[in-house]
A and B are shown apart, each in its own frame.
Chain A
Amino acid sequence: MQNFHCIWDRKHWDQRGPFPALAQILLLGQSAGKQAGATHLGSASSDDPRRSDPGQHPACCRHRCALSSALAMQALAVLTFCAFFGGTKMADFNISSVSGVLSPALAESLLMAVPPCQFTGANASIHIIHPNGTTDVRHFTVPLCRGRRELVSVVDSTGGFTVTRLDAYQITRLTPGHTYTISYSVFNKDRSVSKSNSIAMGTLNRVDYRSIPADMSRSGGMVVITVLLSIAMFVLVAGLIAMLAITRCK
């Protein structure tokens, strides 16, 4: 199955809108038979079906325009296919946050699963896009993958020492309450680059402890005790006074 890399001609997109850019799409197939996407559409001004009036072109131009139209429609169909499946199909592999932990997102760090086992031993880089638009790139080597990949596993435990292996990437030095976009790039042995999908993860928001309300849960027991004992005290004092008064009257 061929993997298609859809490359946008950003320059034309910015200048003339989507439809002229569609005409500029280069379809590159991994198959050697499809050379450079087979369709390099050239200048947008002469191949853009929307901008040209077929009725005013000579015959050779009409044929070229018809061919351009067909190719543009084909490109549009492919583009729609790519857009429909989003980053998932455009990415070579998928990544996700880690499960089986308290929370993959802490206040100042995020926990990401490492690239799949097929990239074991390869040099990889993780791209972290900050909310302000800056990109942070960190490099690491994809860890080994023997059997079932646990998040934290004991590799060796002899002589009182324990060696553990971590199969997750912890992105540190982040800011609480911010959302980051994360993706991987893996450099394969054949010098190709495999990219992952991008996922957005947010760090936990930290609340100031001074804002914690010092509430109290008023219970009915307090009311009962206070009321009953107050009444009893009053009755006893009244009884004492009455007792002394009765005795004095006698």
Chain B
Amino acid sequence: MAKGDNGVRCFQGLLVLGNVIIGLCGIALTAECIFFVSDQQTLYPLLEATNNDDIYGAAWIGIFVGFALFNLAVLGIVGVIKSNRAMLLAYIILMLITYAFETASCITAATHRDFFTRNLFLKQMLEKYQNPEPLNNDDKWMSEGVTRTWDRLMLQHECCGVNGPSDWQNYMSKFRNINSDSEFPWPRQCCVMNVQGIPVNLDGCKLGVSGYYNDKGCYELIAGPMDRHAWGVAWFGFAILCWTFWVLLCTMFYWSRIEY
């Protein structure tokens, strides 16, 4: 294929355009994954305690894959313009490796998102919230993280438990082991608070009188951000890979047609 051919120029233009898009998507992927890793809602302790924090691992992979995609896109643009076989071969091989990593990241994020069920967080909350007797330092760290996170969640979002205050009544828990049922049917953080952070009516809250306790569960507030996190990493990565697939195939074809 002669370098000066108009068709070749057009094909080169398409490859350059494809790589530009890959580069931009790589930057966007990096930015998105940095945002997820920064954990704005501070929900990581909940995942850490369930040993289900792989969506954060997927986000970390996404940060480096995005950066790699950007750099490789630049390499690809230079290689296509110069029609340099060595450069393009390096581009294809490195792009395949990056492609594999991003595939792993997408599958990990999509798979582990399915673990975020109500029962997962419910069991963890009952097991670790205000756990008075952690088994070891690791368990102590996780219990403190879970307690801190739940206290903040319930106060900030005016919710109680995973499904509602009934969680504390329907199930045995570490919390129940140290708190009497009549005095603490559910944690104090489930009570409606005034501006000073004091329950508006403690007796009403303890009795479950409507208006003095928070009756909605916190599951949506936990699952919502995590679902967005997981789906953002998985499906945005998938979209990038779909585009990169065709650019790579075209680049392979172009490389095979370059004359020495």
Contacts and interface: CB of A to CB of B under 8 A. Distances in A.
B29 to A, nearest CB: 15
B171 A206 contact: yes
Contacts of B245: 232, 235-236
Nearest to B127: A209
A103 B166 contact: yes
Dominant secondary structure of chain A at its interface with chain B: mixed
B103 interface: yes
Interface string B49-83: 00000000000000000000000000000000000
B122 A207 contact: no
Contacts of B201: 152, 154, 162, 164
B115 interface: yes
A243 B252 contact: yes
Contact of B213 (A102, A206, A210, A228): A102
Interface stretch (B14-22, B33-41, B202-210): B202-210
Given A154-B201, A222-B111, A225-B238, A236 B248 contact: yes
Interface in B98-153: 99-100, 103, 106-107, 110-111, 113-115, 117, 119-120, 122-123, 126-127
**For chain B, what secondary structure do more than half of its interface residues adopt (helix, strand, loop), or is it mixed?**
helix
Interface string A63-107: 000000000000000000000000000000000000011110011
A216 B120 CA distance: 8
B181 interface: yes
A14 interface: no
B207 A226 contact: no
A243 B106 CA distance: 27
Contacts of A219: 110, 113-114
A202 B156 CA distance: 34
Contact of B256 (A168, A170, A233, A247): A247
A218 interface: yes
A246 interface: yes
Contact of A222 (B114, B122, B182): B114
Interface in B199-229: 201, 203-204, 207-210, 212-213, 215
A9 interface: no
Interface residues of B, number: 55
A229 interface: yes
A220 B136 CA distance: 39
Contact of A221 (B110, B120, B170, B210): B110
Contact of B110 (A106, A225, A237): A225
Nearest to A226: B107
Interface in B150-173: 165-166, 169-173
A151 B207 CA distance: 9
Nearest to B183: A172
A208 interface: yes
B163 to A, nearest CB: 12
A231 to B, nearest CB: 10
B27 interface: no
Interface in A168-220: 168, 170, 172-173, 204-210, 212-219
Nearest to B204: A152
B119 A109 contact: no
Contacts of A216: 114-115, 117, 120
Interface of B: 92-93, 96, 99-100, 103, 106-107, 110-111, 113-115, 117, 119-120, 122-123, 126-127, 165-166, 169-173, 176, 180-182, 185, 201, 203-204, 207-210, 212-213, 215, 231, 234-235, 238, 241-242, 245, 248-249, 252-253, 255-256
15 contacts: A102-B165, A204-B169, A210-B123, A215-B117, A216-B114, A219-B110, A222-B111, A229-B106, A230-B103, A235-B245, A236-B245, A239-B249, A240-B96, A240-B252, A243-B256
